[in-house]
Chains A and B, each alone.
Chain A
Amino acid sequence: MSSALDGYTGKYLHVDLSAQTGRSADLDADIARNYLGGTGYAARILFDGQKAGIDPLGAEAMMIVSTGPLTLNAVPGGGSVELCFKSPLTGGWGESRAGSDFGPDLRRAGFEHIVIQGKAPTPVYLVISNGTVEIRPAQHLAGKLVSEKLAMIRKELPAGRYSIGCIGPGGENGVAYAAVLFGDRAAGRTGAGAVFGSKNLLAIAVEGRGDVAPARPDEFKKLLREYNAALQTNPVSIGFHDNGTIGDLGANDEKGDWPTKNWQSNSWGKGPELLDDFVKNNFVKPYPCYRGCTIACGRKVQVRGGEYQTPEHGGAEYESISCFTAYVQNEDMDVAVHCSHLCNEYGVDTISTGAAIAFALECAEAKILPASATVGLDLVWGNAQVLPILVRMIALRQGIGALLADGVRKAAATLGKGSAAFAVHVKGLEGPAHDPRSGKSLAISYGTGNRGMCHIHPAEAMAWDSGKMDWGLGPHGLPDPNGVDRWAESGKGAAVKIMQDGLNLPDILGTCKFFMYAGVGVDQLAALLSCVTGRTTSAAELLAVSERVITLQRLFNLREGFTAEDDLLPARACAVPAFGTYAGNADCGIADFPAMLAEYYQARGWDVATGIPTDATLARTGLN
């Protein structure tokens, strides 16, 4: 007999760290139907269960560790876990994904998600196994690096194949952009690690041996065979595997999609040689971030000797390396790889950390920084040696690190003296390493992303107008990118809405977005979901759920006090580049961003002046 929760475990875990209790509770079938899972289900929990205005680092704040109905090792990209919370960095919607077996293991342990509230009086970690949870003391783990914590926890665990999510000193010290590490993979953006730290929660270990059976197993297996076979010959899939995300370093530099010198330009000209250097000296081999990933875009890397030596580790993503090269004008790839590794060891987001350092370098150049905070530091562009020092200072909140640890928005507010012009962020989230000036649809995506200036949640929109990719969204209304001018500003709002609705789905369903790039698009996700739940779901219905989720997250932000002003881009990200390939090229500036936003609001059914969803939109999305 079929049930409304077929394809789900039917349970979630509620942990109250103040009371030191954990209990299993029933999943809500209505929420599952309307929000599916992942960031969707979590948005409903956070909107309903957490008051506006609470301190994101207070005991009443919630942390949701979430999966979706497609979080299964067998599903392409199904090794995912999503963290959802009120961000201590932005004060608004916080979410962050990591690729890991943690998600599938949590479901095998019997839970779709964990709701964590309260604050433990002393450090603890959770051990979840087959429907049970134990809260263990973790005083002895305090202050340890991520790899040290992981090794110590593994020694203490009973036999079993545990996945572990863990914070580093950055999270314990309340760095506003602290990460949660799942092995080598970080849920880095918007400060989940700080929320863990504020609760004295240092880690969660999970193992499970249950099975989340699909409702239509034969059809499910057939689809998986078909999709996996197609992935084997898909050039994008092969490109990700062979090159990793860092493979675009040179190409993005050439296209003007590489923010440089704290966004003063969007090209540097050194991308190709830095990439060669990386491939020759640091790259070891590709690796998958969960068991079963057929793409395996991860890179095992190493600094093989010298002052910046590292062990072999997973890292050196495009974003991380860009932030420790172009952002800060560092030409030493060993230092960039080392800093990316250090960020993971200390548990801080590589993007925000690199961006905060770039901000500091520009402030130092403008003589804005207090001399007392920079004693002994040679804060000049291109000084590789100072970078690892600053990463540690941020994670440990020492000296100038304490200022930078709160993010560039807050640091600029503290410093004043015109430093806000150097703080490149939207809603408080530091900008990542793609440039909206050279693929203008990204500008809208940056402005309206609910978590702030993010390239990938929900959509890497420049991949459409600049990269000419459509993710299979053509039949769902996305115009053919080949007919679109990447420099044009007008006519992109409606397209960005479609991209966001489509590319938000992996976050809701609990899969990796890169598989959408490689042919597992909305139609394929709908087919897989239908097999899993036994309820036929069309691609159009999936897109409607995604729109509902994006709108609810928008309402979350509005309730926290955000306005249309907070959708605006920093002037630096709109200005014609000051140097590099596109210097002086008027096409490569953003002249009228409010007009672009207005088009987007219109397409979303939001009031064009205020950016608030209209009553009609709330009714259409089922949010009234």
Chain B
Amino acid sequence: MHVTLIAMWQLEKDLGGKQFTFDFLPGSTLADFLRKFGDTFAGRIPEALWNRVESRFRGPVVMMTNGVPLRNPAEILHDGQEIQVFKVLVGG
């Protein structure tokens, strides 16, 4: 199945493009998506935003599908899903 990452705002520059589609086996989870993200982009994304050891975003990066935040690594992905990824600013 296909899942598309959409790089929002500043991440488009960091990742070098707006949309990236990845293949997954049925039943794959958000954790699998994050692993694939790491395999593909670990060299491009600053360490401040990506924890290479644990394959997870670090700091204020928000993932959403249809306006719903994705927080649970065990969440099952579905074919055709689009995941928007935002680097947001939260410093007070």
A239-B60, A239-B62, A468-B9 known; A254+B89 contact, CB < 8 A: no
A233 touching B64 by the CB < 8 A rule? yes
Nearest Cβ distance between residue A424 and chain B, in whole angstroms?
Answer: 18
B67 at the interface (CB under 8 A from A): yes
Smallest CB-CB separation from B53: which chain A residue? A276
Q: Is A456 an interface residue (CB 8 A)?
A: yes
- Please state if B92 and A317 are interface contacts (CB–CB under 8 Å): yes
- Majority secondary structure of chain B interface residues (helix, strand, loop or mixed): loop
Option from B84, B86, B91 in Cβ contact (under 8 Å) with A252? B91
Q: Is the CB of B58 within 8 A of A469?
A: no
Q: Are A257 and B58 in contact (CB under 8 A)?
A: no
Q: Are A242 and B69 in contact (CB under 8 A)?
A: yes
Known contacts A233-B64, A254-B47: A276-B58 contact under CB 8 Å = yes
Q: Given A239-B86, A251-B48, A253-B48, are A275 and B59 neighbors across the interface (CB < 8 Å)?
A: yes
Question: Which residues of chain A from 225 to 257 have any CB-CB distance to chain B below 8 Å in the complex?
Answer: 232-233, 235-236, 238-240, 242-245, 247-255, 257
Whether A238 contacts B48 by the Cβ 8 Å rule is no
0/1 interface trace, chain A 452-483, chain B, CB 8 Å (1 if under) = 00001000100100011100000000000000
Question: Inside 8 A of A317's CB, which chain B residues have their CB?
Answer: 92
Chain B residues positioned under 8 Å from A249 (CB to CB): 59
In the complex, which of the residues A242, A248, A275, A456 contacts B62, with contact meaning CB atoms closer than 8 Å?
Answer: A242
Complex Cα distance A319/B22, Å?
39
Are the C-beta atoms of B62 and A235 separated by less than 8 Å?
Answer: yes
Residues of chain A contacted by B61 (CB below 8 angstroms): 239
Given contacts A235-B8, A235-B64, contact A272 B89 (CB under 8 A): no
Bound-complex Cα distance A254 to B10 (A): 14
Contacts of A469 in B (CB 8 A): 89
| Other-chain contact of B86, A235, A245, A253, A517 (Cβ < 8 Å) | A235
- Interfacial chain A residues near B64, Cβ < 8 Å: 233, 235, 238
Establish whether residues A243 and B86, one from each chain, have CB atoms under 8 Å apart when the complex forms.
no
In the assembled complex, how far is the CB of residue B82 from the closest CB belonging to chain A, in whole angstroms?
14
Proximity string of chain B (1-45) to chain A, C-beta cutoff 8 Å, 1 when within and 0 when not: 000000011100000000000000000000000000000000000
- Does B76 count as interface, using CB distance less than 8 angstroms? no
Residues on A with C-beta less than 8 A from B86 are 235, 239
In contact, A250 and B49 (Cβ under 8 angstroms): yes
- Among B51, B88, B90, max chain A CB count under 10 A is at B90
Min C-beta distance of A456 to chain B, whole Å = 7
Query: What is the chain B residue whose CB lies nearest that of A269?
Result: B47
Q: Within the complex, what minimum Cβ distance (angstroms) separates A35 from chain B?
A: 26
Q: State whether A271 touches B48 (Cβ < 8 A).
A: yes
Number of interface residues, chain A, beta carbon within 8 A: 39
Partner of B58, one of A242, A275, A467: A275
Chain A min CB distance to B55 (Å): 13
A554 on the B face (CB < 8 A): no
Q: Is B68 an interface residue (CB 8 A)?
A: yes
Is B73 positioned at the interface, with any CB of A under 8 Å from its CB? no
Cα–Cα, bound, A456→B62 (Å): 23
List residues of chain B with CB within 8 A of the CB of A460: 91
B35 to chain A, nearest CB (A): 18
Q: When the two chains form their complex, are residues A318 and B9 in contact, meaning their CB atoms are under 8 A apart?
A: no
A250 CB, min distance to chain B CBs, angstroms: 4
- If A235-B62, A235-B64, A239-B62 touch, whether A247 touches B90 (CB-CB below 8 Å) is yes
User: Do A272 and B48 touch (CB < 8 A)?
Assistant: yes
User: Given A243-B90, A318-B91, A248–B58 Cβ distance below 8 Å?
Assistant: no
* Nearest B-chain residue to A513, judged by Cβ: B92
Query: Is B78 an interface position by the 8 A CB rule?
Result: no
Nearest CB of B to A276, in Å = 7
- Give Cα A272–Cα B71 distance, bound, in whole angstroms: 20
Partner of A467, one of B8, B89, B92: B89
Q: Check B92–A319 contact: CB distance below 8 A.
A: yes
Q: How far is the CB of B49 from chain A (nearest CB, A)?
A: 6
Q: Is the CB of A245 within 8 A of B92?
A: yes
| Chain A contacts with B in 257-291, Cβ cutoff 8 A | 257, 271-272, 275-276
Cβ contact within 8 Å between A236 and B92: no
Q: State whether A318 and B58 are in contact (beta carbons under 8 Å apart), knowing that A272-B47, A276-B51, A468-B10 are contacts in the complex.
A: no
Contact of B88 among A233, A235, A318 (CB under 8 A): A235
Bound form: Cα–Cα A434–B90 in Å: 12
Measured between beta carbons, the chain A residues less than 8 angstroms from B69 are 238, 242
Beta-carbon contact of B60 and A254 below 8 Å: no
Q: Residue B60 contacts which of A247, A272, A434 (CB distance < 8 angstroms)?
A: A247
Q: Does A297 contact B (CB under 8 A)?
A: yes
A463 touches B59 (CB 8 A): no
- In the complex, given contacts A255-B48, A468-B10, what are 9 additional A-B residue pairs having Cβ atoms less than 8 angstroms apart? A232-B67, A239-B61, A239-B90, A248-B59, A248-B60, A249-B59, A250-B48, A251-B46, A275-B59
10 nearest CB pairs, A to B? A239-B88, A245-B92, A248-B91, A233-B67, A254-B48, A250-B48, A235-B86, A247-B60, A467-B89, A239-B60
A-B contact pairs, 16 of them (CB 8 A): A238-B62, A238-B88, A239-B86, A240-B88, A244-B90, A247-B90, A248-B90, A249-B59, A250-B48, A250-B59, A272-B51, A272-B59, A276-B58, A434-B91, A468-B9, A468-B10
